A and B are shown apart, each in its own frame.
Chain A
C-alpha cells in the first residue's frame, strides 16, 4: 500500500533540502537512546566496563540502522542520483567539444519545437478568452449540399432566435468601422455592432460601467457605446469618469456606458475591436423582401449540457421550417453550427499541425545525432568502465550513471533551446504580423515549459538508453581482459549507429522534399498572372463617414469630387474607385440569371462576385477590355444599370454568343433588377493568386446608393511617378473634399499582392529552416559515423596498405560505406516524402504532390552532401601511415 504518495513526496523533498539537519537529528536521536540505556544499566548496577558491550548487543549496529532510516526516508536513491549528477557534470566538462556540440544540436531541436509549440498552444490549445468559451458557437446559413458557410439575414436570425431550443441565446454582430470626432482629431476606429445578447453571452465583465441593456437594441434608444481599454487609454486619457460622458461617433452624440478590459477581444482577431455599438437592424433589413440579404454574423451560447451536434440539429430543424414558410428567399437554404474555436482557427489548423510535425522530425534527427555522439564517446570510455566494473561498480550503476548524464545533457540543451525559442518567437512575431488568428499572445507559458521539460527528459532517456545499455550487453569485463582486441568489438553497436544515420537521412529527405515542393509552389504563384498590371498603382482604403451613406450622397458629394481632385494631381495618370480591392478583399456576391432563359429552381441560381467601380477602373488597374466599352459617367443616369462582366462569365454563360447588349437579372424570378452588359473585361484572380478567376460582374459606383451595409471603398491611382510621392497630395485632396473622411492602409498594389502571399511565404521560410537544420544535422551525423569508422579501422587500413592497396582504393572503400548509408536513407526517405507531400497538398498550388523536379533534385542534393560528408574522413583514411597504424596499440 502506498498511501498519499504526494504528501510523502513533498515530505521527502523537504528532507533533501535540509539534509545536514536531518543527519544531525538522527544522530542526536540515537545518541539520546544510548545515553538513556547507559544510565539505566548503571542504575541497575551493571559494571561501567560492561555497559557498552551490553548496549551494543541490545541496540544493534547504529550505522546499519541509520542506513535503514535513510532507506525508509527514500534518501538512499536520491543520494545516488546526486552523486551521479555531480559525476555527469564533471565528465561533461572534461569533454567540452563533445558537450558543446551535443548541447547545440539538442538545443536547436528543442528550441525549434518550443517556438512552434508556443504558436500551436496560443492558437489551437489555449482556451478562448471568454469564461463561457466551451459553450460558444457560431451559426451560419448554408446552401444545402455546399460546404461554404454564409452570413445570415436579419429576419432569419430573428426567426431562429424565437424557435431554437438548444441555445440560451443567439446574438448578432456586424464588424465595421466608425469615425470618432469631437474634441480631438477625427480618427477611424474598428467598431463592431453587437446585439444586446452578445456581451453577456461571452461573460467578460466591463472594467468600468456596464453592458448594453436589452432595450438598447431598439431604434431611437441606441446612442450608447462601449469602448475598449486601449481606446480608453489612447483617446480618452484613461479617464475613470468616462462612463456617462458623451462622445461623437459619426457626428452623432453617443453616451459611453462601459469600458471593456484590455484582455477582451471580440470578434477574435489580431486587430482588436475598439468600439462596440448596439446592433440596430435598419428598417430596410426588416422588410420581408430583405430576407434574402445575408450580411450579419450570428453567435450562440449553448444551454449547459447541449452538444454542438444537438445544437446543429436544432438549428437545422428551425431553418427547415423557415424555408417552408419562405419558399422564395430561403429555397434550398439550411443552417449550420460551428464551435467558436473551429471558426476562428480551423483554417490554420492543418498548416500548424504540418509545421509541428516537421519540427518534431527535426527533434528526432537531433536526438539521433546526440545518441550517435554518445555512442562514439562510449567507445572511448570502455576501458574506464571496465576498470570501474572490476572495482565493484554494478552494471545497474553504470547504466543509471549514463542515463543521468544524457538527461543532464538534454536539460542543458533544453535551457539553450529556450533561448533559441525566445529569439525565434520574436522573429516569428514580426514575420507573422497579423497572419495568425491569435487567441492570445504567443508566449512560452507554463504549459509550453512543462511540455518542453517533459520532452527534454524523454529525449534524454531516449537518446541515452542505447548508449547506456551498451554496458550491459557487451561484456564489459571482457574488455578489461582483452584490451588489445578492439576492432572486433561492437558490431552490433555499429549496426545501431548505421540505423540512426539512415533514419536521419531519411527524415531530412522528407523535410527537404516538403520544403522543395513548397518553394516550387511559391515560385509558381509569384509568377502567376493576376490579370492586373500593377506597376505604379497605389491603393488606399477610404473610410466613408456614415452620413454620406445614410443620405445616399457618397457619390455626388464625396467620391466624384475626390476623383476630380486626384486626377488633377501632377503625376497621376488615372484614378478610380472600387468597392473591394481585388486579391485583398472578397465578400460581395449576388445570384443572377440570364434574361430570356427559363429560370432555374429557386435557390440554385449561380453566384457572381460583384464589384462596384467608377469609370476608368479597368484602365487604372491595367485590366484589358476584351469586348464592348468601359462604364461611363453618363451610364449612371440611364434607367437600366450597365455592367461589365469578366471573360469567365462570358465563356460560361454565353459560349459562342456575343454577350454585349444581353441582360442579366439579379434577384429571384419574381423580383429582380436588370443589368445590361456593355463590355467584357479580362479575368482577374480576384480572390487570391492561388484561386482561378471567378465569375464576376462590375457595376457602376452609382449603385453605392443601394449599398447600405458597406461604407468603405478603395481608391486606386495609376501614377507616372513613384507611388509614395503622391501620398501627401492624396491626403490634401481628401481633406479638401471631406475633412471627416480618412485614408487608411495606403500601399502599392504590388504590396497588396505580396501580402496576400505572406502566409505562404512564412510557411515556406519555416519549413525551409527546418529542412536546413535537418540537412546539417544529418550530414554531421553521417560524417561522425564515417569518421569513427575510419578511426576504428585504422589498423585494418594500415594492413591493407602495407599489403599493397593504393590510396584511391582506400578512399573508395570508405566512400562506399557512406554511400550505402546515404542511399538507404534516401530510399526510405522517398517513401516518407510521398506520404508527407499528401499532407501538404493544400499548399501546393500548381505543383503536383509528386513534382518530378523536386523528387529528383532533392535526393541528388542530399546525396552530394552525404558524399562530401564521407569524403573528409575518406581522405584522412588515405593518409594513414601503415607503419604508425600497425603500431597503434
Chain B
C-alpha cells in the first residue's frame, strides 16, 4: 500500500524518524529515546509505532537496515538514511515548515 499523503500524523512521525536518523545510523530503541529526549517528552506516542514507521521508510527506500552489535553487545538492527531518504527529509522538512507557518499565520490573524 502506498503511504497516505494526507495522513499528517503518520507523515509527521516519518519526518521525525528521518530527522533523527540524519545524525547517524541507530537502532529503533535509540530512535525512540532520542525523539523522547529532544521533544522533552512532549510527544506522547507509543514507542511501538516507530517500527511500522521504520519499515515504511525502508519499504520506500528512504532508509536501509543492517544487523549490528549494540553498545551492550547484543544483536540489534541499525537503520541508516539513504541518499534518497536525505532528499526526502529535505522535501518533507520544507513542506512541514510551510504547513506550520500557514497554521501559525492563521492562528495569529484569524
Residues of chain A touching chain B, judged by Cβ–Cβ distance below 8 Å, are 1-4, 7-8, 11-12, 25-26, 28-30, 32-33, 35-37, 39, 58-62, 64-66, 68-69, 71-74, 77
Report if A60-B47 is in contact (Cβ < 8 Å); known contacts: A1-B2, A1-B5, A33-B28: yes
Does residue B37 face the partner (Cβ distance < 8 Å to A)? no
Does residue B12 face the partner (Cβ distance < 8 Å to A)? no
Report if A72-B56 is in contact (Cβ < 8 Å); known contacts: A11-B61, A29-B28, A65-B49: yes
Residue of A nearest to B57 (CB): A72
Q: Can you give 27 A-B contacts (C-beta < 8 A)? A: A2-B2, A3-B61, A4-B84, A7-B61, A8-B59, A8-B60, A11-B58, A25-B67, A32-B28, A32-B74, A33-B29, A33-B51, A35-B74, A36-B29, A58-B46, A59-B48, A60-B47, A60-B48, A65-B46, A65-B51, A69-B52, A71-B1, A71-B52, A72-B1, A72-B55, A74-B59, A77-B1
Q: Count residues of B near A (Cβ-Cβ below 8 Å).
A: 29
CA A33 – CA B72 in complex, angstroms? 13
- Are A65 and B2 neighbours in the complex by a CB distance under 8 Å? no
Pick from B27, B51, B61: contact of A8, CB below 8 A: B61
Interface centre among A1, A25, A36, A73 (most CB of B within 10 A): A36
Question: Which residues on the B side are within 8 Å of A33 (C-beta)?
Answer: 28-29, 32, 47, 51
- Are B77 and A29 neighbours in the complex by a CB distance under 8 Å? yes
CA A2 – CA B4 in complex, angstroms? 10
Which positions 38-53 of chain B face chain A at CB distance < 8 Å?
Answer: 46-49, 51-52
Interface string of B1-36 (1 = CB under 8 A from A): 111010000000000000000000001110010000
- Are A37 and B48 neighbours in the complex by a CB distance under 8 Å? no
CA A32 – CA B46 in complex, angstroms? 16
| Nearest 4 pairs of A and B residues by beta carbon | A60-B46, A68-B52, A65-B48, A60-B48
CA A37 – CA B49 in complex, angstroms? 15
Does residue B70 face the partner (Cβ distance < 8 Å to A)? yes
Question: Which residues on the B side are within 8 Å of A25 (C-beta)?
Answer: 67, 77
**Nearest Cβ in chain B — how far from A733, in angstroms?**
81
- Are B75 and A11 neighbours in the complex by a CB distance under 8 Å? no
- Are A28 and B75 neighbours in the complex by a CB distance under 8 Å? yes
CA A165 – CA B48 in complex, angstroms? 73
Question: Which residues on the A side are within 8 Å of B2 (C-beta)?
Answer: 1-2
Give the number of A-B contacts (CB < 8 Å): 87
CA A39 – CA B74 in complex, angstroms? 13
Which positions 81-95 of chain B face chain A at CB distance < 8 Å?
Answer: 84, 88
Report if A32-B60 is in contact (Cβ < 8 Å); known contacts: A58-B47, A65-B49, A73-B55: no
Report if A59-B77 is in contact (Cβ < 8 Å); known contacts: A1-B2, A3-B61: no
Report if A59-B46 is in contact (Cβ < 8 Å); known contacts: A3-B61, A29-B28, A74-B1: yes
Question: Which residues on the A side are within 8 Å of B58 (C-beta)?
Answer: 11
Interface centre among B2, B5, B27, B47 (most CB of A within 10 A): B47
**Nearest Cβ in chain A — how far from B55, in angstroms?**
5
**Nearest Cβ in chain B — how far from A40, in angstroms?**
8
CA A8 – CA B84 in complex, angstroms? 13
Report if A69-B51 is in contact (Cβ < 8 Å); known contacts: A3-B61, A59-B46: yes
- Are B48 and A32 neighbours in the complex by a CB distance under 8 Å? no
Residues of chain B touching chain A, judged by Cβ–Cβ distance below 8 Å, are 1-3, 5, 27-29, 32, 46-49, 51-52, 55-56, 58-61, 67, 70, 72, 74-77, 84, 88
Question: Which residues on the B side are within 8 Å of A7 (C-beta)?
Answer: 61
Residue of B nearest to A40 (CB): B33
Report if A69-B55 is in contact (Cβ < 8 Å); known contacts: A59-B47, A60-B46, A60-B49: yes
**Nearest Cβ in chain B — how far from A813, in angstroms?**
54
- Are A64 and B48 neighbours in the complex by a CB distance under 8 Å? yes
CA A37 – CA B27 in complex, angstroms? 13
- Are A62 and B48 neighbours in the complex by a CB distance under 8 Å? yes
CA A58 – CA B76 in complex, angstroms? 20
Question: Which residues on the B side are within 8 Å of A58 (C-beta)?
Answer: 46-47
Question: Which residues on the A side are within 8 Å of B72 (C-beta)?
Answer: 39
- Are A72 and B52 neighbours in the complex by a CB distance under 8 Å? yes
Question: Which residues on the A side are within 8 Å of B47 (C-beta)?
Answer: 33, 37, 58-60
Residue of B nearest to A65 (CB): B48
CA A36 – CA B47 in complex, angstroms? 12
Question: Which residues on the A side are within 8 Å of B76 (C-beta)?
Answer: 29, 32
Question: Which residues on the A side are within 8 Å of B51 (C-beta)?
Answer: 26, 29-30, 33, 65-66, 68-69
- Are B1 and A65 neighbours in the complex by a CB distance under 8 Å? no
Residue of A nearest to B67 (CB): A25
CA A61 – CA B49 in complex, angstroms? 9
**Nearest Cβ in chain A — how far from B15, in angstroms?**
14
- Are A32 and B52 neighbours in the complex by a CB distance under 8 Å? no
**Nearest Cβ in chain A — how far from B75, in angstroms?**
7
CA A60 – CA B61 in complex, angstroms? 26
Question: Which residues on the A side are within 8 Å of B29 (C-beta)?
Answer: 32-33, 36-37
Residue of A nearest to B77 (CB): A29
Known: A1-B5, A32-B77, A65-B49. 12 other contacts (CB 8 A): A11-B59, A32-B28, A33-B29, A36-B70, A39-B72, A59-B47, A60-B47, A61-B48, A65-B46, A65-B48, A72-B56, A74-B1
**Nearest Cβ in chain B — how far from A532, in angstroms?**
74
- Are A32 and B61 neighbours in the complex by a CB distance under 8 Å? no
Residue of B nearest to A66 (CB): B51
CA A37 – CA B48 in complex, angstroms? 12
Interface centre among A26, A33, A60 (most CB of B within 10 A): A33
Pick from B5, B27, B88: contact of A32, CB below 8 A: B27
CA A58 – CA B49 in complex, angstroms? 10
Residue of B nearest to A32 (CB): B76
Question: Which residues on the B side are within 8 Å of A30 (C-beta)?
Answer: 28, 48, 51
CA A74 – CA B1 in complex, angstroms? 6
Question: Which residues on the B side are within 8 Å of A4 (C-beta)?
Answer: 60-61, 84
CA A1 – CA B61 in complex, angstroms? 13
- Are B74 and A3 neighbours in the complex by a CB distance under 8 Å? no
Question: Which residues on the B side are within 8 Å of A72 (C-beta)?
Answer: 1, 52, 55-56, 59
**Nearest Cβ in chain B — how far from A421, in angstroms?**
38
